[in-house]
Structure 1
Amino acid sequence: MTGGGYPRGQCLTPEREGPVRGFGRGRTGKPAQVRVAMVGEQSPPVTALTSALTALGNEVTGYGHDEVDGGLVDRLREGFRAEPPDVVHAHSWLSGMAAALAIGDRPIAKVLTVPTTVSFDAEVQRLERLVCRRVDRVLAAGGAQVRRLAALGVPRNQITVVPHGVDHDRFTPYGPSARKGKRFRLLAAGDLAVYHRFDLIVSVLPAIADTEFVVAGGPLRDNPEADRLIRCARHYGVEDRVHLLGPVDDMPALYRSADIVVCTPARSTFGTIALEAMASGVPVIASAVGGLVDTVVHEVTGLLVPPLRPADLLRAVRHMLAESALREAFGAAGRDRACARYSWERVAADTARAYARAAYGVAPAFGDALR
């Protein structure tokens, strides 16, 4: 390990996993190389933080789909032998195990970012426990994951909360808005999947006058969930007020056109849509599940409602639509929170502090992590 400053790190990341990346400093105090091994294509969040890391003098590399197998261990072992890192940062249970096997008993700190998915399979849970025992520090996106890790037996002092970030320069209240009529607009976004429970919003729409519901996300073709939402809208007689847009390129403009962004998942998510809405200055109504509980501050940046409770959702929507000043206040507070807590700079600094804890047992001050 290096004798001072921050450790160099290598990161292993599967496709569409968490966007957290680390950075470090070497023995000279100058920025040290970070080799990020991203398994699968880069998602926009990963690209955003990669740019920040590159600006700090770090280097990002990637691994393809075909390397998520036994060959990954050999490749990592060879790489670690040629240039031993101070910190290895894995972003899934399998890549965490591969990294641990590649490192062996060498004095290299191991950091794991916990995926959002929760498995109830006994074999998978055994793997999760095993990986947690093999790493030095575990990064959780929020309280729900901390509780999940505690259930796996991970000591609290081994866990660091590092949330996912948002590009608050792209998602901003300032700029053009998508075209909109005179109706209020409720907006939801994300893949058209059952667990998002967009049908709950459709079910309360008959009781909300002069309001449309717009869904951004897909796919629309050959998608049973898209067909189900269309049938649901017909059932409730609101097919003229429900609009499935499919994937949308200019999401910032669409967010700015919304009066409320509604997130109603039935299970844990990172809360990326809520974060983007908050950065855009739009109030949020969200199910009190997973990362949404950490992201949305109830009665400050929006409203939290119990999951799968249409009556509570209806009351929240009616209350917020009736108070324009409340919507403006929630939107302004959400923007402030997104910029202060969820900027990529802040996320990177938090990750660097976690690296230092893993490698040295100490954490630098926030300002030092940015220098």
Structure 2
Amino acid sequence: MRTQVVIIGSGPSGLMLGALLSKSGIDNIIIDRVDRDYILGRIRAGVLEVGAIGLMDRIGAGERMHREGLLHDGFSLSFSGRRHRIALKELTGTSVMVYGQTELTRDLMDHREQSGAKTIYNAGNVTPHEFDGEKPYVTYERDGVTHRIDCDFIAGCDGYHGPSRSAVQGKGLQTYEKVYPFGWLGVLADVPPVHHELIYANHARGFALCSQRSPTRSRYYVQVPLTDKVEEWSDDAFWDEIRRRVPEDVAQSMVTGPSIEKSIAPLRSFVAEPLRFGRLFLVGDAGHIVPPTGAKGLNLAASDVHYLFAGLEEFYGEKSKAGIDAYSARALRRIWKAERFSWSMTMLMHRFPDDGEFGQKVQEAELDYLASSVPAQTAMAENYVGLPY
């Protein structure tokens, strides 16, 4: 079997890249170790920057997103018994959209199926080969048989634990990582959101976030120690805790109900450099992870796709290697800015167990300054809605 680009991973980044390539007449095959239902069963983030929205429109898969997605012109920061709104649209001229990653992935999968492009699910032992040379290929196993796909390029869109980054270990890969001393306990429930915009809460008991997926489905989070186990948290205990951490008027109006998903996610910042190894490219979570505080994970994957697609389109259309040669540097420049913003939001809104009273006072002073400074709010808003590609 042969194609021009093999894409390992059928999450949003792999599907976006595949759709853009197909639209430009560049043949591609997507391969994944699991099946469609497994991928659609994963609960992920739901805030889209204008760049990700634009990619969905360019692909031609954005109709349902525009129909069901919720435009947000701002969000609130809660601290020291007060609430301050960051007016995104007013400060930047741009909004964000709340649309669940699962739904976006479903739209991209449906679009790919309708296009007739090939996706191979349930592929075992997926391995990239010979990507340092001119003739890379990918092997995989299915039903006890080993298969091979020859190609020009390999796009590793296979996440943090995928085979693509594993394949470049020892080939000049350098990694940078910060692990945070807490996690997010998240609950998804079919209850109306407590507010029409997101509320980020800094509280003495720890961080909390009130978010949403639709007018009838809400997503809530509280900061918890890494030693906590999800089975130790009943629904009632969760609702009691989050109501302690949000403003009183928010707590009183919060509608509670049984959770349909509950999990604890550890927080980390991670970047791999470079993102290109010969004819293999790392894309999305394969190359970087951000804490969810700044809503950048999916959006960074989309910007990676933008840069890589531009390079591949230039290679096939103009016979130029300039774009693929520049991919890593271009993507990393934006990645590090988003990493900085996600780190700063995490440091600002969470309580760190070793910071003590001095650290808490500095945090409170920073929030107070932010609430009183339009330039500081503008900087936060510019990063939140997404820096330009």
Q: TM-score, normalised by structure 2?
A: 0.36
Q: TM-score, normalised by structure 1?
A: 0.37
Larger fraction in strand: 2
Greater relative contact order (Cα < 8 A, sep 6+)? 2
